[in-house]
Homo-oligomer: A and B are copies of this chain.
Amino acid sequence: MRLSDLGEFGFLRELERRGLVQRIQNDAAQFAPDLVVTQDALVEGVHFRLDWTSWHDLGYKAAAVNISDLAASGAEPEALIVSLGLPGESEADDVIALYEGIAETGVPVLGGDTTSAERLYLSVTALGRAERVPGRDGARAGDLLVVTGPLGASAAGFYCLQERLTNPCAREHLRPPLRVAEGKELAQSAHAMLDISDGLASDALRIAERSGCRLVIELERVPVAAGVAKVAAHIKQDVYALACAFGEDYELLAAVPEPGRFSVIGRCEEGEGVVFLRDGEPVEFSGWDHFRD
């Protein structure tokens, strides 16, 4: 059986079944009651292309995607550890620009490892402290689903970079939002929360599976970022395919008893799975899974 047959999540479930990893509830692991740790890797040619992104933005993004995992745990980021694999012929100024991009997030780099590799590989660990970690398994029928910002800009930006189109979304793809304050606010009462990294459809399904309930999302209520509709029209894609099935939005999705100041996009019901409704009728989306096309 190849990894690509199992898929990333199928493989993770297999590891859990064998007791080789602890049951992973969140992208961030809770190490002590108040301490949260997260690790994400970016690989050249898979997660980024150096002809699209500057070294500075790459550093920023590598830090930001980890800070996003902490935000989804309601944690305040306190430190980063950076592992870097890259060719010896890399320009030192480029790598310094990468660290300057990391520093722009405001979270100090406490250590790490630098090693030679054929292609650039960047793994960041982020540590933070949280008063309350919502997890993914507490959503229940009656909860409202909220997001912290508009979706689809990263997807649209990816296509703009690929097609060399000029559109502000390109920048959104390279510079994900930091939702630390929103995460801490939502964590006070959220029954489940995560950051949207694999697409709303995939990530909502994780909450549904872990919590044992059904998530119903009304497409008309999903906030779509500026510029996405124009790109969607250009590439002849449904605007909601970009907003719900691409990923890398790094907005937070939470199941809450009260929505507060955040946009409501749906609700939790008894049942299982994720249902998207357009004009009250179910529609299909699928998310992004590494190892699968």
Contact A43 B116 (CB under 8 A): yes
Contact B37 A90 (CB under 8 A): no
Interface residue SS majority, chain A? mixed
Chain B contacts for A261, CB-based, 8 A: none
Number of contact residues on A: which range applies? 35 or more
A114 beta carbon closer than 8 Å to chain B: yes
**A113 with B39: in contact, given A2-B89, A20-B99, A29-B81 (CB under 8 Å)?**
yes
8 Å CB contact of A93 from B1, B79, B116: B1
Chain B contacts for A45, CB-based, 8 A: 118
Q: List 5 A-B contacts (CB under 8 A).
A: A11-B95, A12-B114, A21-B112, A37-B37, A41-B85
Which residues of A in the span 49-103 have a Cβ within 8 Å of any Cβ on B?
78-79, 81-93, 95-96, 99-100, 102-103
State the number of copies, please: 2
A106 beta carbon closer than 8 Å to chain B: no
- Interface 9-mer from A121-129, A151-159, A162-170, A217-225: A121-129
Contact B24 A111 (CB under 8 A): yes
Contact B37 A81 (CB under 8 A): yes
Contact A3 B85 (CB under 8 A): no
**A96-B38 Cα distance, complex, nearest whole Å:** 22
A238 beta carbon closer than 8 Å to chain B: no
8 Å CB contact of A123 from B22, B41, B96: B41
Contact B1 A109 (CB under 8 A): no
8 Å CB contact of A3 from B37, B39, B92: B92
Contact B96 A18 (CB under 8 A): yes
Contact B88 A3 (CB under 8 A): yes
Q: Add 5 more A-B contacts to A22-B110, A28-B111, A39-B82 (CB < 8 A).
A: A39-B81, A40-B113, A46-B115, A81-B125, A119-B119
**A47 with B110: in contact, given A18-B96, A37-B127 (CB under 8 Å)?**
no
A235 beta carbon closer than 8 Å to chain B: no
Contact B99 A15 (CB under 8 A): yes
**A167-B112 Cα distance, complex, nearest whole Å:** 34
A188 beta carbon closer than 8 Å to chain B: no
A258 beta carbon closer than 8 Å to chain B: no
Contact B111 A11 (CB under 8 A): no
